[in-house]
Structure formats: structure tokens, C-alpha cells
Amino acid sequence: MTRRPTRSAHRRRPLVAVVVFPGSNDDHDAAWALGAMGAEPVFVWHDARDLPDGTDAVLLPGGFSYGDYLRCGAIASVSPVMDAVRGFAGTGGPVLGICNGFQILCEARLLPGALRPNRQLEFVCRDVNVRVESTSTLFTSRCDEGQELILPVKHGEGGWFGDEGTFVGLAARGQIAFRYTEDVNGSLGNVAGVTNERGNVLGLMPHPEHAVDPLLGSADGGLLLAAFVEAASHRALAPA
Amino acid sequence: MVVRPKQGILDPQGEAVGGSLRKLGFSVGQVRVGRVIDVDVDAQREDEARAQVERMCADLLANPLIESYEIQFEGS
């Protein structure tokens, strides 16, 4: 027998844990955008051993965790909370890493590849066009294949790299979710965002949370975040 | 330990330093920029220390996808 969600479950806003590391600085923008998409964001400090009860999704925000010391995201990737994030991802829970969050997920080996310093040695800070390469991920369910999104980037170390076998495998399995339509930072294959094999963990360098209102130049990031929150709400409704 | 970008991996920092050296008139080929990490390790023997440092490199200090490393020891 299928259990039907109760009316109160329908009303519960999906709980999205926004992990805060020392040096995170897009955490509040991310929380604001998630709230605008109907989620209930909750901040989780990096030294927490567990995610809050009832967490339906996890977001790793942008910033400069640990001052980008050693390698961007490296020190954050071994924070206590990352074991909980790894466990949550292992159950199929949606995990989104934006910019530094992407770097952290790669360093934690939750996503394939690594982010290198930009080829042009410049911090790049502008709107870019990002093409949706795969609509089979939970993050891109509201996009059309080939659709171009306008999203801002702001990073010094955003050149994605994977060895040739990794790159070919990712492309074949539809794990390359987004590509830039131009060379933005020396990223291999102009990769802007990749997912894990299961498709429930996404990392991308562009910032969807800064593009959720036409007044800010673009609302295209809302397509991605709304799909993320929708996936979280499915989890909120799922029988325990 | 010395951690440096793997051969064949783009090293924009090394390229910039190389370009600057050439502007100064030095005739240099490829330049690669890495980092040196000094760690005091409490161990009785070198192989013990080596095993510890190897684990440190694998877990945190180097990213094997893009970096290689060498370990050097100084006893005291």
C-alpha cells in the first residue's frame, strides 16, 4: 500500500542545510534565494558532526573557505560536517555546491575532477552564458537541453580539470551538466558544472543564487534552484 | 615535502613567473611553481614517519589528480 502524504506534510517547507565554513561569504545570498524558492534554509557550522534532523537537501555556498589556503576547498573538504554530507549524498539526497562549494565537493572526491587556477591568471567576475548539457539531473529538470542561462561567475580558480578518461566517461554518462559557451577560465571542454554518477550531487562555478531576480540582471539561476528545492520537497514528502 | 603541479598540467603561475624571468633577460625554459610544506613528525624511525607523511599527502596535502609530491627527511 502506498502511503499518501498528509496535508501537513504538504505544507512543510523542505529543509535545506546551508553549510558555513570559515570564509564562506555567499551563504546568506544562497539562503535568501532558497527561501524565495520555497525552502526553509538552515545554517550549519562546518564543525557539526551531523546535519539537522529532517534535512532534505544540502547546499555548500561560495566564498573563500580557510582563506583558500593549500588549495581552494581542500581544508574545508576534511571538515567534520563533510562526513555527514557524504553520508547524506550516499542516500541519494540532493547536494549542490556553488563555486567554492564545487571546489570543496571535488576535493572531498564527491565529484570528479579538480578546479585549477584560471588560465588567464585573472579573477573573472562577470555574467557568462552557460549551456545546459544534460536535463537528466534533478538540478536541470526545469531546463531544456541546449538552453543557455545567463549566470554570474566570480572566481580565480575555476578551471575544471579531469584526465581524458574521466572527461570522456562523464560526457558519455551525461554528468557534464553545464558548459560555458566560451572559454571563461581554461576549463577543460568549457565545463562549468558536473554531477556525480547518480546525479544527486552537482557542483558548478557560476552562481545561480545571484541570478534569481530580473533586477539583478538575470533570473535564470531560479530554474536551477527551484528544481533543487523541488527535489528536496520530494524528499520531505517521502515516507520515512 | 615538495608539492608541485604534475607534468602536463597547466600551471598559469609558473607561466607568469617564466614570462617575467624572460622579460628580465634570463633565458629560461619551462617554469613550474609548487610549494614546500615542513611538518614536524613525532616518529622513532624514518619508515614510520614516511608512512605518516604519505597518508598526510594522500588525505590533504596534495591532490593526486593535478599534483605530484616528493618527501624529504631531516632527522633531529
User: pLDDT tens digits for B25-54?
Assistant: 999 999 999 999 999 999 999 999 999 999
Quick one: pLDDT at residue B74? Answer: 85
Buried/exposed A66-84: b ≥16 CB within 10 Å, e otherwise: bebebbbbbbbbebebbeb
Give chain B positions within 8 Å (CB) of A70.
Answer: 60-61
Measure B12 CA to nearest chain A CA, in Å.
Answer: 6
Helices (H), chain A: 7-11, 27-36, 81-90, 100-107, 164-172, 221-237
Asked if the Cβ–Cβ distance from A163 to B10 is below 8 Å, we say no
* Residue B14 · residue B32 · CB < 8 Å: yes
Helices and strands: H and E segment counts in chain A: 6, 11
* Residue A161 · residue A188 · CB < 8 Å: yes
Quick one: pLDDT at residue A240? Answer: 52
- DSSP states along chain B: -EEEEPTTS--HHHHHHHHHHHHTT---------EE-------SSHHHHHHHHHHHIIIII--TTTEEEE------
Cβ partners under 8 Å of residue A157, min gap 6:
A68, A72, A103, A115, A116, A117, A118
Q: CA–CA separation, A210 vs A222, rounded Å? A: 9
Closest in B12, B60, B61 to A119, CB measured: B12
CA closest to A69 among chain B residues: B61
A40 is catalytic: no
Quick one: pLDDT at residue A216? Answer: 86
pLDDT score of A6 more than 80: no
Asked if the Cβ–Cβ distance from B61 to A70 is below 8 Å, we say yes
Quick one: pLDDT at residue A2? Answer: 45
Give chain B positions within 8 Å (CB) of A71.
Answer: 63
Asked if the Cβ–Cβ distance from A116 to B59 is below 8 Å, we say no
What is the pLDDT confidence band of residue B76, given thresholds at 50, 70 and 90? low
Quick one: pLDDT at residue A197? Answer: 96
| Average pLDDT of the residues of chain A | 94
Residues on chain B bordering chain A, Cβ-to-Cβ distance under 8 angstroms: 9-10, 12-13, 15-16, 59-61, 63, 65-66
Mutation for testing the A interface, residue in B60, B65, B69 having most A CBs under 10 Å: B65
Respond yes or no on whether ipTM tops 0.90: no
Q: CA–CA separation, A154 vs A63, rounded Å? A: 10
Give chain B positions within 8 Å (CB) of A156.
Answer: none
Q: Per-residue pLDDT averaged across A54-63, rounded?
A: 97
SS3 A8: helix
pTM of the full structure: 0.92
Quick one: pLDDT at residue A136? Answer: 86
Quick one: pLDDT at residue A1? Answer: 42
Q: Per-residue pLDDT averaged across A96-119, rounded?
A: 97
Quick one: pLDDT at residue A21? Answer: 97
Asked if the Cβ–Cβ distance from B12 to A107 is below 8 Å, we say no
Residue written as grid cell 552562481: A207
Give chain B positions within 8 Å (CB) of A114.
Answer: 63, 65-66
Q: Per-residue pLDDT averaged across A25-37, rounded?
A: 97
**A57-60 vs A95-98, strand pairing mode:** parallel
A125 is catalytic: no
Residue type, A160: W
| Whole-Å CA distances, A117 to A104, B13, B20, B60 | 15, 8, 18, 18
Q: CA–CA separation, A73 vs A159, rounded Å? A: 14
**A159-161 vs A114-116, strand pairing mode:** antiparallel
